[in-house]
Chains A and B, each alone.
Chain A
Amino acid sequence: MTDWLVLSGILLVVVGFVLRLNPLLVVALAALATGLSAGLGPVALVSAFGKAFNDNRYVSVIWIVLPVIGLLERYGLQQRARALVAKLRGATVGRLLIGYLLIRQLSAALGLTSVAGQAQTVRPLVAPMAEAAAEQTHGALDDATRDRVRAFAAATDNVGLFFGEDIFLAIASILLIKGFLEQNGIVLAPLQLSVWAIPSAILAFLIHGGRLLLLDRRLRR
């Protein structure tokens, strides 16, 4: 029975997200429920959470790029990105994002994962370009459509990153797999693992690319 109680944190997370409570609050409560049901005292629990939060500070380091992006936006970076797209004949949201998907997958496959990203490229460049392309085919965008185009720009960055990076030999996930298998007596070269990422990468490009073309179709109406 105590086994099942440690799953209470998972339940809290699901319920919290469905009810749209503040996620920071939900996460803290989930940690509390999980820790207490596993028999941790309050002080040990706060300490464990504090240590893990401190150890993971590198996750939040990416925010140091915001002053650069903000400064350039002040001088019209987004407007310039839109103007460039407006000059391209035949540019559509779908074609533009398919091009970005390809670049993102290829660069991630070469190990260049932090060259692009949501803060570095999507907010200042890709999203405004996609919006400008949508306006060319669709005319002025209502709020819901504009949000949908922006969401697809963000989604395309994620799909490109996730289904490109594992082709690279020295990426964290490949090293994690190699290490785990070695602990269990199976020795594999990273190349033997990363070639298996190629079929999924191609399928990801086809599936997401197809959906982007469908998005174009829906916008044209």
Chain B
Amino acid sequence: MGRSGQTISSRRGDGPPQHAANDPSRVNAVLATSLVHGSSARYQQQGGKRHSVLLPTITCFFEPASSRELLPHMSKPNVQGLSGLGRTSRGGKCAGLLTATLLAGCTGFLGSSKSDETSGLPGLGSGAGNGVGAGAGLGTGGALAGGGTAPLSPEETPNAPAPDLNLPPDANIPCVEGADASAPSRLWRLTRLQLQNTLREFYRGMVPNAGDNPLEGLVLPFGGVSAGDRFSTRSVSYGLDEASFRDLMGASGFVARKLVADLAQQSCVGNADFAGCAASLMTKAGQLAYRRPLSPSELQQYTGVAIAERAQGEAEAMALALQALLMAPEVNFRLEAGAAGLTGSMDPHAIASGLAYGLTDGPPDAALMEAAANGGLSSAADIAAQARRLIGDKGGVKNPDQTASLFPVSPMERFIKEYFRYDYVERVDKSTMLFDWYRSWAMLEDTRRLVSEILITKAEGGLFPAIFGTTMAFVESNTKNNYGLVGDFGNRTQTEVPGRSGIMTQPSWLAGFSQPDHNDAIRRGRFVRESMLCQGLPGLPIGNIPPLDIAQFPVLRDALTQHRADPACAGCHSLMDPIGFAFEEYDHVGRKRTEEAGRPVDASWEIVGASEPGLSGTHQGAAELGTRLAESPLVSRCFVAHSFQYWLGRAPGAGDGCTLESANKAFQDNGGSYPALVASLLSSPSFSQRKTP
């Protein structure tokens, strides 16, 4: 809470000591823990604490300036009160050092995010660079190779660029035998869907024959999704706030009162042994709500509410007790802590909850509760078996024919959606005058159905060739125009579309990674670089960047030549644009094309600085790109790292190398089986072990 005259303390306890506004040491301290993180370091962040773990940082100094410097000549006579406004910062100098480092990083070589001997290329980032700063940069790579520019003086260094710290995970964390894979204990808030399923199953457990939708009319909290996250499962992004708390009170009250009404006499109203009845009811309710048996003290606490409030009427008393139960942190959050104190393996019920919510968005089913209660989750094999059971034999897809839904309903489908981000199609508008058939929601649904079908048929083997190379598509009456097809496709028909290859040639993906009226090779290339190769890139630099001259260069490839001609741009754009050109054989609404502005399309592409022979060189077209990505060991490792992020709700850290390696092995050894990959992750120590930092 804020207090007058003081800064607001951080969420997770107080931050560093607060200094006066103009205290240089404060600023210095801030920058000493500043933010040029490698990918792993950033995602190590838990509970708002920054872990500047892996990279040295740059310290800069703010110096006061004379007030005379702050009084540039006044151009109008009636200037008032704009003088002597304190000090100016030498933020330019500090910012410049950061800029130079990051730009130097872009002009250096790329490996994977960690230098490894097989790549033959050093990575970006730490280590002796070009003598610029302390070498802080992107990733956790090795020495910055030469080829960069000479260091710039503080006066000529530009503004700090935008370090895009939404960096991909580290795909090459080494497996060190004996490394501690434990993660800090945490409270992981349920999503709205998970809470909905929890309350529904709670209700159906309490009221026999409650029906499929017993809580119609319930208004639920937790509806927001943090827009800046790579995946929606990032646990630190979700907590409780004023509005959610209010909504939760409303929801819990609704459920409690309805339950009391529906239970009628079984709610203990009118029962001669009210206290005993209340205890019995709360025992059952507590187990359903908490997903584990209540402890004696917990049971006494909730039963005590009913007894204490009996004077308000027995129905109200029971409702208050039930509402108190449903408001508990352990009902609305998943507690992940060591069973024995703070360290060690999680309690079996917590493991059961982790599996259930992760794989089904709901509470543990009876089989899982039974396993948790009777030692059936005591080994990695047991946990993996339960994970496989929950995934099922359809690649985790629960409602394959759910055409009404615009969004994946299962976590597995949702991962593929968030990994490829084909839902970006909703963010880009196209001209309805030019494309009156264009329906983004239909395109989205086409791809959702495709993903569903891929998971059902290929999840257990051949996932990569499918997601990067399938010619299968779902088409309907509007989206046939995206594919250039003729005929009647009805509401939606599965078909083969030669010339397509995987999800990144779906019109939804192509349109989502485009501008309103032209392709966006930059974003497409960047996406491949970051999501498939786990190689991060900085954000746009601050400055007045002139627009591309699309009018003069109607062929996009020619327009983007400016990027590679200008040294200030080339460092980063050479890493993005050449990859994005692979998709130039499609236009910005996803139609295949052979010509652009009257010239034959040139879809040649290149991954500059590729660390694998299979990804090196110049090639043609999206199909070739898909094939090579599907066969790449780096892409496989990167996919595993992204999967880790999604399923475990955090980025992999230094201790997770063996988990990543095992998961990748499970993926590869089982013919590219995604369920095997997921089961490996969820049965790993990274999932089940907790510690106190």
| Genuine A/B complex | no
